[in-house]
Amino acid sequence: MQSQCKSSSPHSSNFRVSLFRSGEMVRLFLTLSPAISRFNIYPGISILATNPSLRLQKHHQLKTKTPAFSLIPPSSSPNFQRTPSNSTGTRTFSSPKSGNSSFGDNLVVLGIETSCDDTAAAVVRGNGEVLSQVISSQADLLAQYGGVAPKQAEEAHSRVIDKVVQDALDRANLSEKDLSAVAVTIGPGLSLCLRVGVRKARRVAGEFNLPMVGVHHMEAHALVARLVEQELSFPFMALLISGGHNLLVLAHKLGQYTQLGTTVDDAIGEAFDKTAKWLGLDMRRSGGPAVEELALEGDAKSVKFNVPMKNHKDCNFSYAGLKTQVRLAIEAKDIDCKHPLSSATNEDRRNRADIAASFQRVAVLHLEEKCERAIDWALELEPSIKHMVVSGGVASNKYVRLRLNNIVKNKELKLVCPPPSLCTDNGVMVAWTGLEHFRVGRYDPPPPAIEPEDYVYDLRPRWPLGEEYAKGRSDARSMRTARIHPSLTSIIRADSLQQQTQT
Ligand code: KG4
Ligand code: ZN
């Protein structure tokens, strides 16, 4: 059942009512405009009720009131804007089944991920069942450019996005009509690339009248661990290591994170990628796996690299200096990256393997040292922590897992590392994170079925996950803070406070 009508409120604001059914549920959206929410041009009241009798409840009777993610910025600006404090966040959510732990098991969410160089989509059920997972990687482009080139990556996403999403639905044996919501990464990442995924997600959601959830890419890396490890409950710690991020966070609850440490310059994945490129390795699977493989042949103590930030008693990272050390070692051994490894002499190959192994050892030692300290800090803040999640592309590295497992075990915690296919970028993590937020009522109502071509999307290329822990601030920190979006945690916290003051 789908219906929509337009009407006018007594205060001459327009509103739109959308009814739509998913599984056992019928949703009703009352969408007000102009923007009255802090983050949303389509703030709405959504009420969930069981089919067939749609139960409308009065505002104050609704069980939870939570802010939604917005994919749509205030029309005056493409960037985040604070609206006056007397504005009302009116997205609410209620279900006759809430309070029951199995609530949401039958929800089915499509997740779309295009923040970097992988075009990924997946369909996941609320009970954690992965119905499908499809990824199209830009292997040839990576090899050609030795890294991600935004314009070429955008074009590659645009070429395959429709097919990837269609394949995900086909493999799940579902059509769009069977979905409960669409989740999509809105940041952080490359704007050009994020836009392709968000546009596609809005088209699907608009055409089939589905709610949307805007997902934080790094939160998705962390939360996918809850899909694989049923026991993993909040609070927990997470080390998120990818091509662009090196984050140590304490996850208090869904959407609320304290950032214990981050990188002051490059992330570890970037250092793996550059090392692979300078060593002349095959970049088609990205640099990390190539370095990991070659490192198995090398002597990890043969090249002396310094562990970064030894004297900084914090939980921050730096990989730019280690990259330079690697480059100098490669130059000193006369290694020519234009000569592929396959045509190297035995000695040349051994030199390359020694550098790969020595780099990997020191890069991971840096992780180990900072993780040890971060666990101590986290246990002071939240003594009930039992788990440490390690996720993101670099967490698929076996040596990384082995070494961090020792650290975590010594601190009497349990390591949770998703399988490699869920550590590197994927649609499952986006769908799952979408589900987690959708279940507690954080979502946006369906976008209009037809949207202008020049529509300005709310993309968040630089979007911190959590609030910085004061003790963890680094003097060495880069001052590049321009155009950073307020953190996910601050947005959710501010809205919760606002909602509380209104009840
Ligand atoms: O999370 P991800 O797939 O994409 C980003 O969000 O950046 O991470 C990609 C990064 C790349 O730098 C890649 O080289 C690295 O993860 N990576 C690895 C391994 N597999 C992927 N690094 C080390 N060892 C691996 N096995
Ligand atoms: Zn990632």
| Span 417-467, pLDDT tens digits | 999 999 999 999 999 999 999 999 999 999 999 998 889 999 999 999 999
- Look at residue 83 and tell me whether its pLDDT is greater than 70: no
What is the model's pLDDT at position 102? Answer: 62
Task: Output the average pLDDT for the chain.
Answer: 82
Atom of ligand 1 nearest to the CA of 189: 6
Question: 102-233+420-463+488-502 belongs to which homologous superfamily?
Answer: ATPase, nucleotide binding domain (3.30.420.40)
Higher-pLDDT residue of 394 and 475 is: 394
Phi, psi of 151 (to 5 degrees): -65, -45
DSSP-based three-state secondary structure for 2? strand
Q: Which of 43, 92, 101 is nearest to 71 (CA)?
A: 43
What is the model's pLDDT at position 70? Answer: 39
Residue 489 in contact with residue 67, Cβ under 8 Å?
no
Q: Which of 112, 253, 133 is nearest to 196 (CA)?
A: 112
Residues 477, 316: Cα–Cα separation, whole Å: 9
Residue nearest to atom 2 of ligand 1 (CA): 393
Q: Which residues line ligand 1 (CB under 6 A)?
A: 116, 242-244, 269, 272-273, 286-289, 292, 392-394, 396-397, 424-425
CA of 188 to the centre of ligand 2 (A): 9
- Look at residue 364 and tell me whether its pLDDT is greater than 90: yes
Atom of ligand 1 nearest to the CA of 399: 24
Residue 15 in contact with residue 32, Cβ under 8 Å?
yes
Q: What pLDDT digit, counting tens, does each position of 103-148 carry?
A: 689 999 999 999 999 999 999 999 999 999 999 998 888 777 877 8
Residue nearest to atom 16 of ligand 1 (CA): 393
Atom of ligand 1 nearest to the CA of 115: 6
Residues lining ligand 2 (ion), CB within 5 A?
Answer: 242, 425
- Look at residue 176 and tell me whether its pLDDT is greater than 50: yes
Higher-pLDDT residue of 194 and 17 is: 194
Nearby residues of 496 by Cβ (< 8 Å), 6 or more positions away: 66, 67
- Look at residue 85 and tell me whether its pLDDT is greater than 60: no
Higher-pLDDT residue of 102 and 138 is: 138
Residues 471, 260: Cα–Cα separation, whole Å: 8
- Look at residue 316 and tell me whether its pLDDT is greater than 90: yes
Residue type, 314: D
CA of 359 to the centre of ligand 2 (A): 22
- Look at residue 182 and tell me whether its pLDDT is greater than 90: yes
Higher-pLDDT residue of 470 and 238 is: 238
Q: Which of 160, 166, 123, 169 is nearest to 139 (CA)?
A: 160
CA of 137 to the centre of ligand 1 (A): 13
Count of alpha carbons within 13 Å of 476, Cβ hemisphere only?
21
Of the chain, the percentage scoring pLDDT greater than 70 comes to: 78
Residues 363, 171: Cα–Cα separation, whole Å: 39
Q: What is the mean pLDDT of residues 190-203?
A: 97
Q: Dig out the tokens for 230 from the structure.
A: 């049923």
Q: What is the DSSP string of 61-90?
A: G-SEE-----SS--TT-SS--PPPTT----
**pLDDT band for position 481 (cuts 50, 70, 90):** low
Q: What is the DSSP string of 265-281?
A: S--HHHHHHHHHHHTT-
Range among 2-11, 22-31, 117-126 rated most confident: 117-126
Residues 223, 267: Cα–Cα separation, whole Å: 20
CA of 205 to the centre of ligand 2 (A): 24
**Hey, which bits of 254-394 come out as E strands?**
256-261, 387-391
CA of 428 to the centre of ligand 1 (A): 17
- Look at residue 77 and tell me whether its pLDDT is greater than 50: no
Q: What is the DSSP string of 103-148?
A: TTTT-EEEEEE-SSSEEEEEEEETTS-EEEEEEEE-HHHHHHHSS-
**pLDDT band for position 502 (cuts 50, 70, 90):** confident
CA of 422 to the centre of ligand 1 (A): 11
Atom of ligand 1 nearest to the CA of 360: 23
Q: Where are the domains of the chain?
A: 102-233+420-463+488-502
Higher-pLDDT residue of 327 and 34 is: 327
What is the model's pLDDT at position 148? Answer: 80
CA of 38 to the centre of ligand 2 (A): 28
Atom of ligand 1 nearest to the CA of 423: 1
| Ligand 1 pocket mutation, candidates 148, 285, 286, 417, criterion most atoms within 8 A of CB | 286
CA of 360 to the centre of ligand 1 (A): 13
Residue nearest to atom 23 of ligand 1 (CA): 288
CA of 53 to the centre of ligand 1 (A): 49
Q: Dig out the tokens for 386 from the structure.
A: 């039992």
Residues 435, 413: Cα–Cα separation, whole Å: 27
Q: What pLDDT digit, counting tens, does each position of 198-219 carry?
A: 999 999 999 999 999 999 999 9
Residue nearest to atom 14 of ligand 1 (CA): 288
Residue nearest to atom 6 of ligand 1 (CA): 242
